[in-house]
C-alpha cells in the first residue's frame, strides 16, 4: 500500500538546446516574480494557514514554479524550490545567509537562551566547534551502553501498554525516549521521563517550539500587548526548562570540581563547553553554555522523535517493507534489549527506511534564511536582509527527479536499487539534515537512536495497529517541525522463541 504524499510534479519537458542552455539568464527582481495575490499592508499574511503553511507553499510552487514571491506584510520574501539552488544557499552559511532576525527576536522575547541553533557569524563558529566535538561518532559510541538502558526503559513502557491492551500515544512516548537519550549523552544526566508520568521536563519542552512557530507566523504580536492564559503557561514552561538547564550545569560543574581530569578529558558536551567557558579566551560565555543545553534538549527531542513516528506509520502502510524490516531486526539482532554497535551497523534496511521517511516526511520541509549581503539566488537578485524560504521537499517528491517519487520504497537507498543515476536520485536531492557548514551535528546520533527504537519495537513486539483519528494516512501539521497528527499504536508482546 503506497503512502499519501504531496502530488508529484509531472515529468519535465525536453531539455533546451545547447545554445539556449549556454545563454545567460537576465537577473530578475523580487517585484517581477509571480506569486499569490497580496492584500494592502498585510500582504499574504492573512492567507497563511500556519499548521499547513508548508503544504500551501508547495501548492504555490506547482502553480507559480520554483521561484515566486510572498508578501509578508510590507516585506517581499523569495520562495525557492530548485534543489540545486537550495543546496547552494545552504552551503553559503554562515557567511552569506543566517537564520532570520525574527527567529532571534521572538526567541529572546520568550526567554530562550542563545545556542548554536540560532547563533550566527563568529558566535556560531565558536559554538559549533564545541558542539561538533560533543557529537563526534566516537563520543556517541562511548555512550552506547547508556543508550541501551534508555531503549530498555522504552521497551518496559511498551510492555506495560501491550499487557493492558492500551493504545500508545506514539509521539509522546518517542519524545520521552529522545529526551532521555540526549540528556545522558550531551549533559551526563539521567533524565528518566520514560518511567515517570509526573510533571516531567518533556511536557514543558513540547510547548516551546510550537509557541515559537505560532508567534513567528502571527500577523500581529498580540502577546506583547495582552498575555493570554496560554502565554502565562508558556512562561511557566520556559522557566521550568531553564531551571532544569541550570541544574544540569550545576551538576556538571560539581563533577568537574570533584574530578579535575575532566578539564583535559571531558566526558560529554556540557563538560566540554564549561571547560571552554572557564578557559581564558575560550570565547564561550556561561549564557551560551546554558543556551546550548536548551538547544540540544529542544532539537534533540523533537526532530528525531517525529521521524521515528513517521517511519512507524509509513511501515504500517507498507506491509512488505514492514515484513522486511521485522526480518532484518529479528535475524540480525540476537537480543533486542542488549544490541551491539556492530548489530546496529548491520541494519541497512532499517537505515534505508529512515532515509526514505526523511525524504517523504522531512521534519523541516522548509527553511527561512536571511541574506547577509546582496546576492543572486538562481536568477533572482536578493537584497541585504532579504528573506529566502528554501523548500527542502519539493524536488525530492517530484517525478522529474525521483522515480516513483510518491511511493515509500526504502530499497531505493540500497545498492540493490539499481545502477545508474536514477536509482541514486533521492540521495542527491534529499537534504533532511541540511547541507554545508551548518549541516546537523547530531545526524549520527539521530540515526542510531532511530535504529535502536526500531530494534525495540520490531524485536520485542508484534505491531497490531497504527491508527490515526480519521483512519486515513496521518495528516501533516507544521509547528516549527512537521509532525504526524494523532498517531496511536497497539502492540502485543512477541512470543518467546
Across the range 434-452, mean pLDDT stands at 78
Could you give the percent of the chain with pLDDT greater than 70?
83
User: What is the tens place of the pLDDT at every residue in 73-106?
Assistant: 888 999 999 999 999 999 898 889 988 888 889 9
- The pLDDT, as a whole number, for residue 129 is 64
- The pLDDT, as a whole number, for residue 10 is 41
Range with top average pLDDT, 18-22, 170-174, 331-335: 331-335
Q: Is 134 a residue whose pLDDT tops 50?
A: yes
Q: Is 6 a residue whose pLDDT tops 50?
A: no
Q: Is 476 a residue whose pLDDT tops 80?
A: yes
What's domain 29-491's superfamily in CATH?
Answer: Cytochrome P450 (1.10.630.10)
Phi, psi of 334 (to 5 degrees): -65, -45
Higher-confidence residue of 137 and 479: namely 479
Phi, psi of 483 (to 5 degrees): -115, 150
Range with top average pLDDT, 15-29, 243-257, 411-425: 243-257
Q: d(Cα 93, Cα 120) in Å, to the nearest integer?
A: 9
Q: Is 215 a residue whose pLDDT tops 50?
A: yes
User: Helix, strand, or coil here: 168?
Assistant: strand
User: What is the tens place of the pLDDT at every residue in 35-68?
Assistant: 999 998 889 999 999 999 999 999 999 999 999 9
- The mean-pLDDT minimum among 90-94, 152-156, 266-270, 450-454 falls in 266-270
- The pLDDT, as a whole number, for residue 461 is 97
Phi, psi of 54 (to 5 degrees): -65, -35
Sign of CA dihedral 313, 318, 323, 324: negative
- The pLDDT, as a whole number, for residue 7 is 46
Q: d(Cα 204, Cα 210) in Å, to the nearest integer?
A: 11
Q: Is 22 a residue whose pLDDT tops 60?
A: no
What residues does each domain of the chain span? 29-491
Mean pLDDT of the chain: 84
Residues 56, 60, 63: CA angle, nearest 5 degrees: 145
Could you give the percent of the chain with pLDDT greater than 90?
52
Q: Which helix (H) or strand (E) holds 99?
A: strand 97-99
Torsion of CA 14, 20, 22, 26, to 10 degrees: -110
Higher-confidence residue of 33 and 247: namely 33
- The pLDDT, as a whole number, for residue 16 is 41
Q: Is 3 a residue whose pLDDT tops 70?
A: no
Q: Is 409 a residue whose pLDDT tops 60?
A: yes
Higher-confidence residue of 289 and 327: namely 327
Q: d(Cα 54, Cα 5) in Å, to the nearest integer?
A: 13
Q: Is 439 a residue whose pLDDT tops 70?
A: no
Higher-confidence residue of 208 and 160: namely 160
Q: d(Cα 342, Cα 362) in Å, to the nearest integer?
A: 27
User: What is the tens place of the pLDDT at every residue in 237-284?
Assistant: 999 888 888 888 888 889 999 999 988 877 777 887 788 777 655 566
DSSP character at residue 95: T
- The mean-pLDDT minimum among 30-39, 182-191, 338-347, 481-490 falls in 182-191
Query: Beta partners for 387?
Result: 77, 370
User: What is the tens place of the pLDDT at every residue in 343-374?
Assistant: 999 999 999 999 999 999 999 999 999 999 99
Range with top average pLDDT, 159-168, 240-249, 444-453: 159-168
- What's the grid cell of residue 49? 494557514
- What's the grid cell of residue 316? 504500517
Confidence of residue 24 (pLDDT cuts 50, 70, 90): low
Cα distance from N-terminal residue to C-terminal residue, the chain: 30
Q: Residue 302 burial by CB count (10 A; 0-12/13-18/19+): exposed, middle or buried?
A: buried
Neighbouring residues of 111: CB distance < 8 A, sequence distance ≥ 6: 235, 238, 239, 242
Amino acid at each position: 500500500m503506497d503512502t499519501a504524499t504531496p502530488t508529484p510534479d509531472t515529468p519535465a519537458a525536453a531539455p533546451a538546446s545547447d545554445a539556449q542552455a549556454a545563454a545567460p539568464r537576465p537577473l530578475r527582481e523580487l517585484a517581477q516574480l509571480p506569486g499569490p495575490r497580496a492584500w494592502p499592508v498585510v500582504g499574504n499574511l492573512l492567507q497563511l494557514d500556519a499548521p499547513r503553511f508548508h503544504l500551501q507553499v508547495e501548492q504555490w510552487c506547482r502553480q507559480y514554479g520554483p521561484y515566486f514571491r510572498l508578501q509578508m506584510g510590507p516585506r517581499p520574501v523569495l520562495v525557492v524550490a530548485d534543489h540545486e539552488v537550495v543546496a547552494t544557499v545552504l552551503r553559503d552559511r554562515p557567511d552569506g545567509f543566517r537564520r532570520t532576525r525574527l527567529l532571534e527576536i521572538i526567541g529572546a522575547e520568550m526567554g530562550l537562551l542563545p545556542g548554536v541553533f540560532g547563533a550566527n557569524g563568529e558566535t556560531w563558529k565558536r559554538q559549533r566547534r564545541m558542539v561538533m566535538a560533543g557529537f563526534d561518532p566516537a563520543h556517541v559510541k562511548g555512550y552506547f551502553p547508556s543508550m541501551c538502558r534508555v531503549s530498555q526503559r522504552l521497551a518496559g513502557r511498551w510492555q506495560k501498554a501491550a499487557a493492558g491492551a492500551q493504545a500508545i500515544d506514539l509521539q509522546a512516548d518517542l519524545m520521552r525516549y529522545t529526551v532521555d537519550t540526549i540528556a545522558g549523552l550531551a549533559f551526563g544526566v539521567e533524565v528518566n521521563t520514560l518511567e515517570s508520568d509526573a510533571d516531567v521536563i518533556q511536557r514543558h519542552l513540547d510547548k516551546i517550539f510550537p509557541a515559537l512557530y505560532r508567534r513567528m507566523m502571527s500577523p500581529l504580536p498580540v502577546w506583547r500587548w495582552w498575555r493570554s492564559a496560554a502565554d502565562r503557561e508558556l512562561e511557566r514552561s520556559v522557566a521550568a526548562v531553564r531551571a532544569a538547564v541550570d541544574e544540569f550545569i550545576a551538576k556538571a560543574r560539581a563533577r568537574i570540581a570533584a574530578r579535575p581530569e575532566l578539564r583535559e578529558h571531558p566526558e560529554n558536551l556540557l563538560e566540554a563547553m564549561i571547560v571552554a567557558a572557564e578557559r581564558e579566551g575560550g570565547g564561550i560565555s556561561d549564557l551560551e553554555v546554558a543556551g546550548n543545553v536548551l538547544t540540544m534538549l529542544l532539537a534533540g527531542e523533537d526532530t528525531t522523535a517525529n521521524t521515528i513516528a513517521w517511519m512507524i506509520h509509513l511501515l504500517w502502510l507498507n506491509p512488505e517493507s514492514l515484513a522486511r524490516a521485522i526480518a532484518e531486526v529479528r535475524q540480525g539482532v540476537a537480543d533486542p534489549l542488549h544490541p551491539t554497535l556492530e548489530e546496529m551497523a548491520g541494519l541497512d534496511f532499517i537505515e534505508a527506511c529512515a532515509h526514505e521517511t526523511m525524504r517523504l516526511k522531512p521534519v523541516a520541509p522548509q527553511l527561512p534564511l536571511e541574506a547577509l549581503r546582496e546576492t543572486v539566488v538562481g536568477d533572482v537578485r536578493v537584497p541585504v536582509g532579504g528573506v529566502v524560504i528554501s523548500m527542502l521537499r519539493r524536488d525530492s517528491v517530484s517525478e522529474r527527479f525521483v522515480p516513483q517519487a510518491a511511493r515509500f520504497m526504502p530499497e531505493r537507498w540500497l545498492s540493490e536499487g539499481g545502477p545508474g543515476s536514477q536509482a541514486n536520485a533521492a540521495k542527491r536531492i534529499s537534504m533532511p539534515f541540511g547541507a554545508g557548514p551548518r549541516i546537523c551535528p547530531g545526524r549520527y546520533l539521530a540515526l542510531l537512536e532511530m535504529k535502536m527504537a526500531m530494534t525495540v519495537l520490531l524485536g520485542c513486539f508484534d505491531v497490531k495497529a497504527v491508527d490515526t483519528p480519521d483512519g486515513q494516512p496521518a495528516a501533516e501539521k507544521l509547528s516549527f517541525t512537521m509532525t504526524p497528527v494523532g498517531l496511536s499504536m497497539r502492540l502485543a508482546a512477541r512470543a518467546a522463541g
